[in-house]
Amino acid sequence: MSFNKGDYVRFRDAPGSRMGTLTSDADAKGKFMFRHDPRFVDALPDVGVFEDEIELCARPTDEQVKAINAVIKRG
C-alpha cells in the first residue's frame, strides 16, 4: 500500500483511538509524519510512523469521536 501526505490513517496496534493525518510524504527511510486527530482526548504530539504501522481509514464523525473519548475517559 502506498500512502501520501494528507491521508487519514489509524495505527494498526490501536485502531480505535490512534487516528489522524499524515503531514508528510515518506522520507528517505520510509517514515511519514503523523498528526493525531486533535478531537481525541489523549492526542499525541506529531510522531514518525512507518507504512507497516498504519492503515488507511475513514475520518470518524464527531459523534464517533465523542463515543471513543467516553471509553478512553472511563479507562
**pTM for the full predicted model:** 0.90
Q: Domain locations in the chain?
A: 8-74
Segment 37-75, tens digit of pLDDT: 999 998 889 999 999 999 999 999 999 999 999 998 886
pLDDT on residue 72: 87
Residue found under cell 487516528: 19
Distance (Å, whole) CA 75 – CA 62:
20
pLDDT on residue 74: 85
Above 90 in pLDDT, residue 14? no
